[in-house]
Every structure is written in C-alpha cells, then in structure tokens.
Amino acid sequence: MFNKELLLSFLMFHPGISIAVFILMAFLSRIYKVKIFYSFTDFLNYWILRPFFSFILAFSIIVALRKLGFTPLVQMYSFPFLFQVLFLFITFDLFASLLHKALHSVRIYDFHKKHHSISVLSWENSAKESIVFELSNCIFLGFLVFFFAISQPAILTALFLWKTSLALTHFNKPIKLGFLENIITSPYYHEEHHHEATQNKDIAISLRIWNRLFN
C-alpha cells in the first residue's frame, strides 16, 4: 500500500543505498587495483548527509501534495515489480540527463562546473555535484513517486541501480562495456565528456539513447 509511513521508511533507507553503492564500488576498486583517495568529510557530506536532506525535501513535497488533496494518477504499486523499476529508472534518468544538458548551458554552468573541476575521474567523486542538480532530482522524484504511487521495493531498487550506474560512469579506469556501449554510458565514453573540448557532446547520465534524442 502506498502511504506516508512507507515513504518515510524509504527516505530513512536512502543513506543506506549510498553506503551500499560506496561499498560495491570499493570492492570493484580492489578487483581493478584502483586506489581510493577519499576523505571521511567528503564521504559524510556527499554520500550521507546531502542525499538524506535532499530526500527529506522530496518527502516534504509528497506530504504537501497529499495535504493539498492531490491523489496519484496511477496506482503503480500493483504493477509488476520489474515494470515499476524500469519505469522509475528510465523516467528519472531522462529528467536527470535533460537537467545535465541544461546545466551545460552558458547561463547556469556555474552550478555544474565544480563537478568538472575534478582533475582525475574517479567514482568517489561522482557524488560531488552541485546542490542544484541534487535538489532538482529529488523534487522531481517526489512528484514522480507520488503521482505514480510506486512501491517502496521498486523505489529502493531503481535508485540503487541508478546511483550505481552514476558511480560506474566515473570509474577510475576507462573500461569499455562491449555491445552495452550502445545502451549505457561507460567509463570510457563518459571520460570524453570530462574533457573540455567534448563536454557538451554527452548529456546522458545512464542511458545513451538520450544523446541520440536530445543532442
């Protein structure tokens, strides 16, 4: 059942998602013999506190919509689990990619240039985004989750996969993914985006189809 208590539980779990992704990427780093250079302060700020408070904002939007008398457009929690996960992942990634494209425009690039100031591409720094990017994503997520009444397990799964994908695109080694290169953004492909001459050629966060449609 879609309710406030379920969403509050989800929001409390979100820092857990960040920690799980961090542990997974640290494990991959050991496999690929990549050194991790990350301070505890950055870990606490970018992987724990900012995600938590950003999603408090998303939760506040959901509560406000309920109190204003709005109701979900679709009760998606009764749909197949995989369908919910794919719907949330694809829709959220589309919004984040379009937002990424907007942040590369001249007028508001200042909100994004901190992310591109990173001298060496590394998954630890994938979370070092502007607060504008993070809050905008969470506001959109709040509306999306409310109006489509997506189940908690589907929310947790989709966000874990999306955050893992985001970290993988910034992996310390430019790994190629074979035939998957045509579907998802790989570290090799995304590394080109962080070069000044090609920054505006790759707006996709996870799914490369957005480059073909909107670039």
pLDDT at 1 (0 to 100): 43
pLDDT at 80 (0 to 100): 97
Per-residue pLDDT for 23 more than 50? yes
The mean pLDDT of the chain is: 81
Per-residue pLDDT for 121 more than 50? yes
pLDDT 10s digits, 25-63: 888 888 888 877 667 777 777 778 887 787 778 878 888
Q: Measure the CA–CA gap between 9 and 165, rounded to whole angstroms.
A: 24
DSSP 113-148: HHHHT-SS--GGGGG---HHHHHHHHHHHHHHHHHH
